[in-house]
């Protein structure tokens, strides 16, 4: 009988960070179960997590895995196999030549929230400590950077203060800009459990669509605030106005623990219920109920995600929501606080190592000279450059304009996921050298690669990730690497050593890491004395005591469940800051030419660009094909039946999709899931224009503080379309 081996690891999909037990037999992953001992999921898995073993098998059998380094002799040609040494030597030579000819700013590195903390750490050090620029950014820019900026602007640090245990302790749960029933399913299951145990728990869901989360709230006697797209800040200011009017302000907390309340109070004076109702499209009585629950049925927990973050005023939206918690003192208490849900499995780990264009290791700021000097000392380099790096959208715009000459893309698919795809594809064509480091050979981005470097993926990777509640979990390999694939940190370190021989031979040894744990120990040391200090943690402790929440300082024996319990915030004077932010609205409001609001979002059973979930037929049982959801009135206005083809046209592109009638989408709105890309949609329009997925339509406008693009909304017009 074949022996079964069980390996404890973490799900690679979303930021809930569920623990999994991987079963292997004879060198194959044969099963996966929820880890009953993991504090995030307590044994449960959602539809995506519970099919990980099947997708893992499909990757290899369908040959979607990239199993050896490939080199494209010229653009447009089929790539041919090449050895690791030849691939990395060529990469080092070409990057060094561009570095010498055009300077460090000629090279951009674009990474991913799917990378492990150890991978992220090496990439960040490579760019900021070796190349001498800050042009490294991550696809987490598309998901979390507004939450980072919002926390820092108000609480002083990028530190989500809450824990999953708060779900069961809250009396009111305000879910805003999140369809967590689909996007964070296991957390939503925990919330359902909480409400079953405490039927008095109140749910408020703010979302323009009647999502599954909103419908569940209504069913449970809660509120769905179907606000106008982009009117979130008006809603939060209006709620604050009502909280003050109804006497729910916590004057003692405001006086002792905050600054800036008077200016904000002046601003929200005008957000009367009537005006807020006009701005948001909501009923005054619903606003009043929401305010009374938020301020009166406490403790109150807010859960939020991309609806706030993916916006040109994403930072302000985050901060305006946090204002409500500061004004009522609903923070630092069991069951209370503003709790940002992370999209990707390791968006948090990337933030921790500073793997973004404006951050440095351990939550340090690039703009702070002392922080730059500290990181330079840690790495043993003379300096970390002060020039701000290019963020995700900027990086591809710079490459499209010819300023960036090389792009190194790891574990992400910008040719599908970034907004304004026409510009992104121009960037990939115009860059002189494109490296794609990937587990999957079939992404849209891989088609543009001059060099394809095969990376390990879930089931093979070894390191750590951090979930939404600051909990660090181990990711362990159940199998050896497939084919010639190597770990992302090891590829980056190897290429860094070869590159250093050309541009800075004294820095070769900076990248001598024998194991991922050696990388992690260096990261751990960088956190000493910082808000996320993990100097008391080790791989051995994770092995023995299981996943832990940061901070976990030297001498501590377990992590920290909740932050700011003493009312001391991470600002220089310990006081949180109210954010006096204006309400601006959408980057691209509807008008006479483009009168419909296009909203984008996730499906229950798919993940990102489908490179993993799209290989499994079972995961198409829930939603089998791309559609545009329209209200029945919209269909009748267009003279169409359900199933008819509709052309969705924005200022940047167009898509033709079958229409589906959905009452949960307002008559002046349309909804398209974000997962389907060119490879799924295929073909071209009647004008010969490629169908680039929903991001062929979306706007590159971004938040000026967080640089996170407004992927959630753009203005479109709808037309009946003929069959091609
Ligand atoms: Fe994986 Fe997220 Fe589902 Fe948990 S909720 S099993 S982390 S996809």
Domains, in order of start, for the chain: 4-61 (2.20.25.90), 70-142+346-505 (3.40.50.740), 145-340 (3.40.228.10), 596-720 (2.40.40.20)
Instruction: Name the nearest CA neighbour of 487 among 459, 468, 521.
Output: 459
Q: What is the mean pLDDT of residues 510-518?
A: 98
CB of residue 615 inside a 6 A radius of ligand 1: no
pLDDT at 59 over 70: no
Instruction: Name the nearest CA neighbour of 305 among 410, 185, 445.
Output: 185
Out of 35, 184, 604, mutate this one to test ligand 1's pocket (max ligand atoms within 8 Å of CB): namely 184
CB of residue 49 inside a 6 A radius of ligand 1: yes
| Side-chain half-sphere exposure of 667, counting CA atoms within 13 A | 7
ipTM: 1.00
Instruction: List helix spans (H) across 504-644.
Output: 516-526, 539-545, 632-638
List the residue whose alpha carbon is closest to atom 2 of ligand 1.
Answer: 14
CB of residue 46 inside a 6 A radius of ligand 1: yes
Tokens at residue 470, please? 């600051």
Q: Report d(CA 228, CA 668) in Å as an integer.
A: 10
Which 3 state secondary structure label does DSSP give 277? helix
pLDDT at 63 over 80: no
Q: Which atom of ligand 1 is nearest to the CA of 185?
A: 5
Q: Report d(CA 232, CA 283) in Å as an integer.
A: 15
CB of residue 12 inside a 6 A radius of ligand 1: no
pLDDT band at 643 (very low <50, low <70, confident <90, very high): very high
CB of residue 11 inside a 6 A radius of ligand 1: yes
How far apart are the CA of 706 and the centre of ligand 1, in A? 26
CB of residue 238 inside a 6 A radius of ligand 1: no
Q: Give the pLDDT confidence score for residue 541 in this predicted structure.
A: 97
CB of residue 16 inside a 6 A radius of ligand 1: yes
Q: Give the pLDDT confidence score for residue 456 in this predicted structure.
A: 95
Q: Report d(CA 658, CA 629) in Å as an integer.
A: 9
Prior bond to 372 cis, omega within 30?
no
Q: Report d(CA 67, CA 483) in Å as an integer.
A: 5
pLDDT at 537 over 70: yes
Q: Which atom of ligand 1 is nearest to the CA of 40?
A: 4
Q: Which atom of ligand 1 is nearest to the CA of 467?
A: 7
pLDDT band at 594 (very low <50, low <70, confident <90, very high): very high
How far apart are the CA of 367 and the centre of ligand 1, in A? 35
List the residue whose alpha carbon is closest to atom 4 of ligand 1.
Answer: 18
Q: Which of 69-73, 416-420, 679-683 has the lowest mean pLDDT?
A: 679-683
Q: Report d(CA 87, CA 276) in Å as an integer.
A: 59
- Give percent above pLDDT 90 in the chain: 85
Q: Give the pLDDT confidence score for residue 142 in this predicted structure.
A: 86
pLDDT band at 442 (very low <50, low <70, confident <90, very high): confident
Q: Give the pLDDT confidence score for residue 723 in this predicted structure.
A: 61
CB of residue 15 inside a 6 A radius of ligand 1: no
Task: Read off the pLDDT of residues 185-199 as tens digits, 9 standing for 90 and up.
Answer: 999 999 999 999 999
List the residue whose alpha carbon is closest to atom 3 of ligand 1.
Answer: 46
Q: Given the DSSP bridges, would you call strands 107-111 and 136-138 parallel, antiparallel or unpaired? A: parallel
CB of residue 148 inside a 6 A radius of ligand 1: no
pLDDT band at 29 (very low <50, low <70, confident <90, very high): very high
pLDDT at 61 over 70: no
Q: What is the mean pLDDT of residues 202-209?
A: 98
Instruction: Name the nearest CA neighbour of 226 among 238, 214, 234.
Output: 214
Task: Read off the pLDDT of residues 114-159 as tens digits, 9 standing for 90 and up.
Answer: 999 999 999 999 999 999 999 999 988 888 899 999 999 999 999 9
DSSP class of residue 75 equals T
How far apart are the CA of 290 and the centre of ligand 1, in A? 30
Cβ contact 675:721 at 8 Å: no
Task: Read off the pLDDT of residues 370-394 as tens digits, 9 standing for 90 and up.
Answer: 999 999 999 999 999 999 999 999 9
Q: Give the pLDDT confidence score for residue 686 in this predicted structure.
A: 46
Task: Read off the pLDDT of residues 697-716 as tens digits, 9 standing for 90 and up.
Answer: 999 899 999 999 899 999 99
CA distances from 469 to 109, 302, 473, 567, 688 (A): 28, 13, 11, 19, 47
Q: Give the pLDDT confidence score for residue 679 in this predicted structure.
A: 56
Higher per-residue pLDDT: 421 or 262: 262
Number of residues written out for the chain: 724
- In sequence order, the 6+-apart residues with CB closer than 8 A to the CB of 624 are none
Q: Which of 8-12, 60-64, 476-480, 641-645 has the lowest mean pLDDT?
A: 60-64
Out of 49, 179, 303, 675, mutate this one to test ligand 1's pocket (max ligand atoms within 8 Å of CB): namely 49
Tokens at residue 200, please? 């008095």
Q: Report d(CA 195, CA 191) in Å as an integer.
A: 6
Q: Give the pLDDT confidence score for residue 60 in this predicted structure.
A: 57
Higher per-residue pLDDT: 58 or 557: 557
Q: Which atom of ligand 1 is nearest to the CA of 13?
A: 8
DSSP class of residue 65 equals B
How far apart are the CA of 183 and the centre of ligand 1, in A? 9
How far apart are the CA of 545 and the centre of ligand 1, in A? 22
Chain centre distance of CA 543? 27
CB of residue 676 inside a 6 A radius of ligand 1: no
Q: Give the pLDDT confidence score for residue 62 in this predicted structure.
A: 55
CB of residue 32 inside a 6 A radius of ligand 1: no
Q: What is the mean pLDDT of residues 424-430?
A: 95
Q: What is the mean pLDDT of residues 639-654?
A: 93
Q: Give the pLDDT confidence score for residue 58 in this predicted structure.
A: 64
How far apart are the CA of 140 and the centre of ligand 1, in A? 17
Cβ contact 486:88 at 8 Å: no
How far apart are the CA of 713 and the centre of ligand 1, in A? 26
pLDDT at 645 over 60: yes
CB of residue 45 inside a 6 A radius of ligand 1: yes
Segment holding 224, helix H or strand E = strand 223-225
CB of residue 40 inside a 6 A radius of ligand 1: no
Q: Report d(CA 695, CA 417) in Å as an integer.
A: 7
């Amino acid at each position: 009988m074949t022996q079964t081996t069980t390996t404890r690891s973490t799900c690679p999909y979303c930021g809930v960070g569920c623990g999994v037990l991987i079963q292997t037999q004879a060198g194959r992953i044969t099963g996966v179960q929820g880890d009953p001992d993991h504090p995030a999921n307590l044994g449960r898995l959602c539809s995506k997590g519970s099919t990980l073993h099947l997708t893992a098998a499909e990757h290899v059998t369908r040959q979607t895995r990239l199993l050896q380094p490939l080199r494209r002799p010229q653009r447009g040609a089929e790539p041919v196999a090449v050895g690791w040494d030849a691939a990395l030597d060529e990469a080092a030579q070409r990057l060094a030549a561009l570095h010498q000819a055009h300077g460090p700013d000629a090279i951009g590195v674009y990474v991913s929230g799917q990378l492990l903390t150890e991978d992220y750490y090496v990439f960040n050090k490579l760019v900021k400590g070796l190349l001498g620029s800050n042009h490294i950014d991550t696809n987490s820019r598309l998901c979390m950077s507004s939450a980072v900026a919002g926390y820092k602007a108000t609480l002083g640090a990028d530190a989500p203060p809450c824990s999953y245990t708060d779900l069961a302790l809250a009396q009111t749960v305000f879910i805003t800009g999140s369809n967590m029933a689909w996007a964070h399913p296991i957390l939503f299951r925990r919330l359902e459990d909480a409400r079953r145990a405490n039927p008095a728990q109140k749910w408020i869901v703010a979302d323009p669509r009647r999502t599954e989360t909103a419908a569940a709230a209504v069913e449970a006697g809660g509120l769905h605030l179907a606000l106008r797209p982009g009117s979130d800040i008006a809603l939060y200011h209006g709620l604050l106005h009502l909280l003050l009017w109804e006497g729910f302000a916590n004057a003692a907390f405001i006086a002792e623990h905050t600054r800036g309340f008077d200016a904000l109070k002046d601003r929200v004076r005008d957000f009367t219920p009537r005006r807020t109702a006009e701005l948001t499209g909501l009923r005054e009585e619903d606003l009043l109920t929401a305010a009374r629950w938020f301020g009166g049925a406490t403790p109150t927990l807010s859960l939020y995600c991309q609806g706030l973050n993916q916006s040109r005023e994403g930072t302000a939206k985050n901060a305006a929501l946090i204002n409500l918690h500061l004004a009522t003192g609903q923070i630092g208490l069991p069951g209370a606080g503003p709790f940002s849900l992370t999209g990707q499995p390791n968006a948090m780990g990337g933030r921790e190592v500073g793997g973004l264009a404006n951050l440095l290791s351990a939550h340090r700021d690039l703009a702070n000279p002392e922080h730059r000097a500290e990181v330079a000392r840690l790495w043993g380099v003379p300096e970390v450059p002060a020039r701000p790096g290019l963020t995700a959208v900027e990086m591809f715009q710079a490459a499209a304009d010819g300023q960036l000459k090389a792009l190194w893309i790891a574990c992400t698919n910008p040719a599908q996921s970034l907004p304004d795809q026409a510009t992104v594809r121009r960037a990939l064509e115009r860059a002189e050298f494109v490296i794609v480091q990937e587990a999957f050979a079939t992404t849209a981005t891989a088609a543009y690669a001059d060099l394809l470097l095969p990376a390990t993926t879930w089931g093979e990777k070894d390191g750590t990730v951090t979930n939404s509640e600051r909990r660090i979990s181990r990711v362990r390999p159940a199998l050896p690497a497939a084919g010639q694939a190597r770990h992302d940190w090891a590829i980056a370190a190897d290429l860094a050593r070869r590159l250093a021989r050309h541009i800075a031979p004294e820095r070769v040894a900076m990248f001598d890491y024998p194991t991922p744990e050696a990388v992690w120990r260096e990261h751990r040391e960088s956190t000493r004395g910082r808000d996320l200090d993990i100097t008391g943690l080790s791989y051995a402790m994770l092995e023995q005591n299981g996943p832990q929440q940061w901070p976990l300082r030297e001498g501590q024996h377990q992590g920290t469940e909740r932050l700011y319990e003493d009312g001391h915030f991470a600002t220089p004077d310990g006081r949180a800051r109210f954010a006096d932010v204006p309400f601006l609205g959408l980057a691209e409001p509807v008008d006479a030419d483009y009168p419909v609001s296009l909203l984008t979002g996730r499906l229950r059973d798919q993940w990102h660009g489908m490179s993993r979930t799209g290989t499994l037929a079972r995961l198409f049982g829930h939603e089998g094909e791309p559609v545009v959801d329209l209200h029945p009135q919209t269909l009748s206005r267009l003279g169409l039946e359900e199933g008819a083809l509709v052309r969705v046209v924005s200022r940047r592109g167009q898509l033709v999709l079958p229409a589906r009638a959905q009452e949960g989408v307002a008559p002046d709105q349309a909804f398209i899931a974000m997962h389907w890309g060119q490879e799924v949609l295929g073909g071209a329009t009647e004008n010969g224009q490629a169908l680039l997925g929903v991001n062929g339509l979306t706007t590159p406008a971004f938040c000026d503080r967080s640089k996170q693009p407004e992927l959630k909304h753009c203005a479109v017009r709808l037309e009946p379309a003929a069959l091609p």
